[in-house]
Structure 1
Amino acid sequence: MTKIIGLLTTVILLSYSLIGLSREELDLNKLIAFTRDKYDEDAVKRMVAWRKIIAEKKGLPEKEKLQVVNRFFNYFEFVDDIKLWGQENYWATPIEFIGLRGGDCEDFSVAKYFTLLELGVPIDKLRLIYVKSITLNQFHMVLAYYPTKTAVPLILDNIDGEIKPAFKRKDLVPIISFNGKQLWINKQKGQGKTATSGKSLKDWDNLSNRYSLEAFKS
């Protein structure tokens, strides 16, 4: 458990500073220019498709938003960080993930998380969860959606593309879950014990700062 918490301290816990950024004010033309300069025309098409989802799907019921976002990102390619970034553990911003059309499980989950927040899904309903994948015999990350505070969450995953309630994902053993407000040490049953606040996990600032610079680059 200490190793997992230590890993988290080097990567992510979401901060309100980025959540509060007004994506409605994002200049799409500037984002396209940034994407074209850094990536390619295919990346521009993906970026436009992403922003179209943000612009057009806010009125959908929440569960339909989950389906749209999960389907969009699960078309992307799984690529290990070593191969893509030359690092054992690199947390890509959603824009980096979309630009390259690839990343590892954390990148899939983070991109879905941010997109659902932009679509108006409350932060209290979303958690990123580190799990042990029994099938893969390794650590993995998924995104969980809680319809209510005490509900069984729905799991969004890049390995199994079908959104399922957690009790149907017996191949996943939850370890730690977190969002922009709290970190939980998970139990086999129930919601888990609150462990700490987001302030104790500092390096999300690096990712959030890169993301905000990319998204609003002038």
Structure 2
Amino acid sequence: MPRRFSKILALMGGWPLRRAAGALLCVLLLGPLLVSAWEPETFLDAAAKLSPRTQQRARALVQLIEKGSAQSDEARLTLVNNYFNQNIEFYTDQETWGVEDYWATPLESLEQGRGDCEDYAIAKYFTLLAMGVPEPRLRLVYVRAMLHGRPQAHMVLAYYAQVQGEPLVLDNLVADVRAASQRPDLAPVFSFNSEGLWHGVGATRAGNPLQRLTQWRDLIGRLRAQGF
């Protein structure tokens, strides 16, 4: 996993959560405006400038969103989790983009056919929003994952059928969607969406980030240009 996560987790142990969150990410007011409008025509227009393989993958994603829009949330989770786990291979940002930290849009991830844990989680998050899953039910979650007997920083997507209920976890490390209680290998650190930040995955809000994170702001701009 990227070295920055190890530094983040170390800092989280000594910093107040609000300060750490402020330094790490921005939940912008633009978020709710962004996720309210899925524009498949804009998405396909953006894909048309890319390779034929990417255009094919983009059309498949549009069809997936159309299919999922008429189904239950549980069915949507399985469709989206399977689609991105099967169409993206894990690579670090350094290997894919030549930089230590880059948050890719779903289209960018499909174009590369590669992504790291954030890219999987981001792609699933925004695709489920496009299908009509209410945003309060979804959170991006930073976790400590036990891999090969060692804790590693990792990101997953959590889905809450009930605000205070047990979430379901969508993860690139595990093929199927599982309840959090079935993932003892994951220890949540904090979770977020465009509405706020939470300590762990609990129901009590820990506050709003205090500073803007460049990656989140840039991601939103690219998403809007690509139809999300």
**TM-score higher than 0.5:** yes
Give distance in 1, aligned partners of 2:43 and 2:195. Answer: 29
Aligned to 1:3: 11
What is the distance in 2 between the residues matched to 1:139 and 1:7? Answer: 16
Match of 2:5 in 1: none
1:32 matched to 2:47? The reply is yes
CA deviation after TM superposition for structure 1 residue 202, in Å: 3.9
Q: CA deviation at 1:94?
A: 1.3
| Structure 2 Cα separation of the partners of residues 151 and 118 of structure 1 | 23
Please list every run of 5 or more consecutive structure 1 residues that lacks an aligned counterpart in the other structure.
none
Q: Does 1:63 align with 2:63?
A: no
Q: CA 1:176 to 1:201, structure 2 compared with 1: closer, same or farther past 3 Å?
A: farther
Deviations 1:61-104 (A, max 9, x none): 11000000000000110010111111111111111111111100
- Structure 1 residue 93 corresponds to structure 2 residue 102: no
Alignment check: 8 A CA contact 1:129 1:144 kept: yes
Q: CA shift at 1:9, angstroms?
A: 3.9
Task: Give the equivalent residue in structure 2 for 1:130.
Answer: 142
> Counterparts in 2 of 1:98-177, with a 5 A limit?
98-135=110-147, 137-177=151-191
What is the aligned partner in structure 2 of residue 23 from structure 1?
38
Q: Which has the higher contact order (CA 8 A, sep 6+)?
A: 2
- After TM superposition, the structure 1 = structure 2 runs for residues 73-88 of structure 1, keeping only pairs within 5 Å, are 73-75=84-86, 76-88=88-100
Q: Distance in 2 between matches of 1:168 and 1:28?
A: 36
Partner secondary structure for residue 226 of structure 2: helix
Change (3 A) 1:13 1:28: closer
Q: Which of 57, 71, 77 is the aligned partner of 1:46? A: 57
Q: Pairwise CA RMSD of aligned residues? A: 2.3
**Partner of 2:143: helix, strand, or coil?**
strand
Which residues of structure 2 form unaligned runs of 5+?
A: 1-8
Shift of 1:143: 0.3
Instruction: Tell me how far 1:28 sits from its aligned partner.
Output: 5.4
What is the count of residue pairs matched by the alignment?
Answer: 208
CA contact (8 A) 2:26 2:212 kept: yes
Moved more, 206-215 or 106-115: 206-215
In 1, the alpha carbon distance for the partners of 2:160 and 2:48 equals 37
Provide, for residues 140-159 of structure 1, a one-character-per-residue CA deviation record: whole Å limited to 9, x for no partner.
Answer: 00000011111100000000
Range moving further from structure 2, 43-52 or 131-140: 131-140
**When the two structures are superposed, what TM-score results if normalisation uses the length of structure 2?**
0.83
